[in-house]
Each structure stands twice: as C-alpha cells, then as structure tokens.
Amino acid sequence: MHLTVTGKQVDVGDALRGHVETTLDTLLGKYFRTAIEAHAVFAREAHLITADVSLHVGRGMVVNSSAAATDHYVAFDAAAERLAKQLRRYKRRLRDYHGGKTRSPAERPEMAQAFVLAPVDEEDDDPADAATADGAAPVVIAEMSTELPQLTVGEAVMRMDLADAPVLLFRNRSHGELNLVYRRGDGNIGWIDPAAPSRRGAGRA
C-alpha cells in the first residue's frame, strides 16, 4: 500500500509518520488487506489539530474519516478508530463486493463531469447587477471527471457512508436509471428514484 502523510501549517515528523503507518497497517491487516493507497493530512484549525484520513480500498471505493484534538496523535487515533468502525460495519459486504464475479461491460461504471462552482455573492444590493448575475452562468473553479457507478441502493448507501459524503449519484442496477442517495437533516438516508413513478404507471396499464 502506498502511504502519504502531509501537514498543512503543521510539522509532520518521522515519529508521527511511523505511528500512522503502523496503525493503518494493523487496521487494514485486520479488516481489509487489499487497500491500494492511503493519505493522512494534518492541519491546524485555531487551537486544534485536525486529522483527515482517506483509504482507497478498490476501484471507486474510498473510505474517509476525520477527527480533531489538541494533539496530533490523539486526532489521528480518533480518525483511525472511525475508519475501523466503518470497515467493521461493512466488512462482509466489502469482501463480497471484491470477491464477486467480473462485471459485464454493461455493469462497468460510466464517467461524468463534475464541477466545483464559486459561491454566489449575496452582498450585491444593486438590482441591475443582480439581474445580470442571475442570467449568467456560475463561475467554475474546478472541473474533473467522476465515476458514475452502477449499484444497488444498498451498495450506494454503503459507498456514501464509507466516503463520509453528503450525496451519491449512481445508476440503479435494477433498471439502469439515475438515482440519488443523500444524508437528510434528521440523520436518515434519503433516496430519489425518478424512474419509480413511470414504473408504477406501467404496472397499472
């Protein structure tokens, strides 16, 4: 496994790098031996140190975790414990996912364009300027390609949870249409399936 440990306004010494490597090797040896790469990033936020850990455990499968504390080691250990809980929760399903049969060409993931947009300036009180801004395209900060996988709803929820992401767009394996799962404000998971009404209508015909 390829490991990188970096710091943002934080000094990362050999002792901390060694601790990160030993901890992740132990964790992966216990739960998931086939990880491809790992990244640990330490940063200072006010009086706290944040540790962001990312594991690339397979094609399109990323596990993210973060924690903050007043000490580098405490922050990393808390983030690593969150990773362990996530891997424990999905250990059997991850093994099944990677040990399954080779996907057919129709099941292989598509690629889609992803964009990072600049925030809207809400302090502009000039109505003429506002009208112009409303009709203009948003400012694109970054553009990249992202995988659009074909998954069951359960697999999509698992990927979103492991990546600690707020939302995941995917193609529903049961009918091939675009679906969305997302984290609701009440802590539950939302699922949007635009194809569902048409399927219900077809069933009544």
What one-letter code names the amino acid at 16? L
User: 110-168 pLDDT, tens per residue?
Assistant: 776 667 777 766 555 455 554 445 566 778 777 767 778 888 999 899 888 888 889 99
Predicted local confidence at residue 77, as pLDDT:
97
Q: Which domains does the chain carry?
A: 2-99 (3.30.160.100), 105-204 (3.30.505.50)
Across all residues in the chain, what is the average pLDDT? 81
Positive or negative: CA dihedral 81, 85, 90, 95: positive
**Can you tell me the distance from the alpha carbon of 53 to that of 80, in angstroms, rounded to the nearest whole number?**
7
**Can you tell me the distance from the alpha carbon of 124 to that of 130, in angstroms, rounded to the nearest whole number?**
7
What's the residue count for the chain?
205
* C-beta separation of 59 from 94 below 8 A: no
User: 72-98 pLDDT, tens per residue?
Assistant: 999 999 999 999 998 888 877 776 655
Higher pLDDT, 125 or 184: 184
User: 193-204 pLDDT, tens per residue?
Assistant: 997 776 655 555
The answer for residues whose C-beta is within 8 angstroms of residue 118's C-beta and 6 or more apart is 138, 139, 140, 141
Closest CA relative to residue 48, chosen from 75, 66, 80: 75
DSSP 107: G
Does residue 33 carry a pLDDT above 90?
no
Does residue 16 carry a pLDDT above 80?
yes
Predicted local confidence at residue 132, as pLDDT:
46
Confidence of residue 107 (pLDDT cuts 50, 70, 90): low
**Can you tell me the distance from the alpha carbon of 21 to that of 58, in angstroms, rounded to the nearest whole number?**
19
Which residue is it, tokens 């992966």?
Answer: 28
